A and B are shown apart, each in its own frame.
Chain A
């Protein structure tokens, strides 16, 4: 089990946090951060910067925090990453893995993610004026971005810095996309997201909501309104092609539905709001990613008994070790090496449990594979089953725009080595073009597509 490192942030006590939905990790204090920064060796060729898909000047901002200049540090981060507060909480931190202090016998990398968070928490609100003054001459070109998720926001902020006018169109009533409905309050407080959205719109990005591109306005209408380029950053949606949900039992949910009810519709406030969480007393969750663990932790906070069924080892859970630790502290029961077979129903088609079989590594034809163990079937008692990981590219627009081609994997077809789709002047990035990505990779993709659109609008050839 992972332990919190030295100099790591303080956390909410378990008994307390099970009764609220607010952030669990409380972050470093200013003093703690300044102490942590002193451990940084300030390498001449920093590996952390090379590992960061966004290329944030990590030693640079650490130096500033060491001197107590939090606003300056935030400013430094925002040169490369406009969404510092979000990355400081939810980035997978490849920089910490690359940190040279991670290679020693007793690996203790610099807590770069926590430092980024400190820079945002304590440096916010002071760097805005500087950036506004920095804006280069306007080019007079207009770009519409569809989807206000991480990719859309990142690309929007970058395109704006290049001098273009940017309008972000969002179908739902709140901006933020997956950040808004997919990540729970205890990992990414809505306050932080609001602050980031306010920052992006303070730069000059116009954020519109309740506009479904394809239905309310078509791509053609957007071009008629004078947009010079369109970026599709619609991300991921529910995947109905996967077989597991093909059971008519009452009480089977997709993880997205539970997350949407809880994060977007605030179902935890029921009966103050009308939306119900839609889960029973015993919840079984299938999956291994962040969506599964987030659903589990939300259900635990509702006072439910939660079992997470996962078909590999505990180490294979694709979440940060800290979050896994938090979940287990909160009372999550992990059924590892268990493969779900079918949903047990009663006469009224209501879920009664989840039949699983144990799996184990076995040497079959010389390859280590996970195979079912004989006579090891068991039933996890549950009245609700949440299935996670059912994602596919959100190609809603392609339904209304036949010229937009979708490839066999379900992603938008892009031109070779480019991010332009089959329609000229229409670009795509992030989940809709590449599938599930770690947040920081998606942000990097947003940044790259912004460069590509900028090159296209300025009439320069593509670098690639």
Chain B
């Protein structure tokens, strides 16, 4: 009945699922860093989820999400062939960085799903791209191989040492910054981790972009619920985001807004 069918579904880590959804129009127009709004049925929340991959030939997009809230669990419980009520998109301002020499893409747990389209774009443009993947433990690390394919080399860090090196993403970043002349950092992680990254990077010449968890209610700037503060001015995530200059974001307000809509 619903037009947006689930084409495939995969559990890729603990509580994290990957889903291909038939949405030919969105697959054609999606660009790196953008997201979609998903509603499972008329009663569920409008979940904003990053577009991990889009396949115009097959007419499908790939989303990755962590099953935390009830709406996400409902989405995860869909089986192949079932349809979604709404898939609206693509939303947000795409990340199309120009003339990047050396870049680092940092992803933490489910944040890796947000960074991967950017990383892939950078790699395709001929950038020397390093990937740093972080997770609390092995069971919450995702998409390591995809990240490896889109980077010159990757560093895997886990807090308990169960995969890769034991340590934090900032340790690996410290290493990379010491060895290479990095000029762009893209980071998709919880606010606390981004703030740690900001602390490690001392050089103000290095641009740090945060790929924030998307945030939208109407998705087209109607209702003002996705207003956040960047550089002391209000902007709408669904129109100007979800990629912002990490040094300018008011993280407290961002987290509060996320909690208000989805908490």
Chain A interface residues toward B at CB < 8 A: 171-173, 181, 210-212, 215-218, 237-241, 245-246, 248, 250, 253-254, 256-257, 259-261, 264-266, 269, 272-275, 278, 349, 390, 394, 396, 399
B256 near A250: Cβ-Cβ < 8 Å: yes
**Alpha-carbon gap, A217 to B26, bound state (A):** 9
**Interface centre among B29, B44, B218, B229, by most A CB within 10 Å?**
B218
Q: Does B33 make an interface contact (CB < 8 A)?
A: no
B260 near A250: Cβ-Cβ < 8 Å: yes
B222 near A237: Cβ-Cβ < 8 Å: yes
Chain B interface residues toward A at CB < 8 A: 25-26, 29, 34, 39, 42-46, 69-71, 85-91, 217-225, 227, 229, 234-236, 239, 250, 252-253, 256, 260
CB nearest neighbor in B for A221: B29
CB nearest neighbor in A for B25: A216
Query: When the two chains form the complex, which single residue of A218, A238, A259 contacts B221, counting CB atoms closer than 8 Å?
Result: A238
B253 near A256: Cβ-Cβ < 8 Å: no
B90 near A215: Cβ-Cβ < 8 Å: yes
Query: How would you classify the secondary structure of chain B's contact residues: helix, strand, loop or mixed?
Result: mixed
Query: When the two chains form the complex, which single residue of B43, B89, B239 contacts A273, counting CB atoms closer than 8 Å?
Result: B43
- Residues of B near A269 (CB, < 8 A) are 43
* Given contacts A274-B71, A399-B239, A215 and B89 within 8 Å (CB-CB): yes
Q: Output the least CB separation between B136 and chain A (Å).
A: 27
**Alpha-carbon gap, A275 to B45, bound state (A):** 6
B221 near A248: Cβ-Cβ < 8 Å: no
A217 near B29: Cβ-Cβ < 8 Å: yes
* Given contacts A215-B29, A256-B223, A240 and B42 within 8 Å (CB-CB): no
Q: Output the least CB separation between A257 and chain B (Å).
A: 4
- Residues of A near B252 (CB, < 8 A) are 248
Interface pairs (11), CB distance under 8 Å: A172-B88, A238-B221, A240-B236, A241-B234, A245-B224, A248-B256, A257-B225, A260-B217, A273-B42, A274-B71, A396-B221
A173 near B220: Cβ-Cβ < 8 Å: no
B220 near A212: Cβ-Cβ < 8 Å: yes
- Residues of A near B235 (CB, < 8 A) are 240
B91 near A256: Cβ-Cβ < 8 Å: no
B220 near A171: Cβ-Cβ < 8 Å: yes
8 extra A-B contacts, CB within 8 A, seeds A181-B222, A273-B43, A396-B239: A210-B86, A212-B89, A215-B91, A218-B29, A245-B227, A250-B256, A269-B43, A273-B44
- Residues of A near B91 (CB, < 8 A) are 212, 215
**Alpha-carbon gap, A241 to B234, bound state (A):** 8
B88 near A171: Cβ-Cβ < 8 Å: yes
CB nearest neighbor in A for B256: A250
A238 near B256: Cβ-Cβ < 8 Å: no
A390 near B90: Cβ-Cβ < 8 Å: no
Query: When the two chains form the complex, which single residue of A173, A211, A254 contacts B39, counting CB atoms closer than 8 Å?
Result: A173
A254 near B224: Cβ-Cβ < 8 Å: yes
**Alpha-carbon gap, A238 to B221, bound state (A):** 6
**Alpha-carbon gap, A81 to B86, bound state (A):** 32
- Residues of A near B87 (CB, < 8 A) are 210
- Residues of A near B222 (CB, < 8 A) are 181, 237-238, 256, 260, 394
* Given contacts A240-B235, A273-B43, A211 and B25 within 8 Å (CB-CB): yes
Query: When the two chains form the complex, which single residue of B85, B219, B220, B253 contacts A248, counting CB atoms closer than 8 Å?
Result: B253
- Residues of B near A241 (CB, < 8 A) are 234
**Alpha-carbon gap, A269 to B42, bound state (A):** 12
- Residues of A near B219 (CB, < 8 A) are 171, 212
- Residues of B near A278 (CB, < 8 A) are 260
Q: Output the least CB separation between B93 and chain A (Å).
A: 8
B224 near A256: Cβ-Cβ < 8 Å: yes
- Residues of A near B70 (CB, < 8 A) are 274
The 5 closest A-B pairs by CB, nearest first: A238-B224, A254-B224, A273-B43, A257-B223, A240-B234
B88 near A210: Cβ-Cβ < 8 Å: yes
- Residues of B near A261 (CB, < 8 A) are 217
- Residues of B near A272 (CB, < 8 A) are 43
Q: Output the least CB separation between B96 and chain A (Å).
A: 13
- Residues of A near B34 (CB, < 8 A) are 215
B236 near A238: Cβ-Cβ < 8 Å: yes
- Residues of B near A240 (CB, < 8 A) are 224, 227, 234-236
CB nearest neighbor in A for B45: A274
**Interface centre among A218, A245, A256, A259, by most B CB within 10 Å?**
A256
**Interface centre among B69, B224, B250, B256, by most A CB within 10 Å?**
B224
**Alpha-carbon gap, A325 to B253, bound state (A):** 39
- Residues of A near B218 (CB, < 8 A) are 172, 181, 260, 264
- Residues of B near A210 (CB, < 8 A) are 86-88
- Residues of B near A239 (CB, < 8 A) are 224
CB nearest neighbor in B for A171: B220
**Alpha-carbon gap, A390 to B227, bound state (A):** 13
- Residues of A near B256 (CB, < 8 A) are 248, 250, 349
**Alpha-carbon gap, A272 to B44, bound state (A):** 9
- Residues of B near A181 (CB, < 8 A) are 218, 222
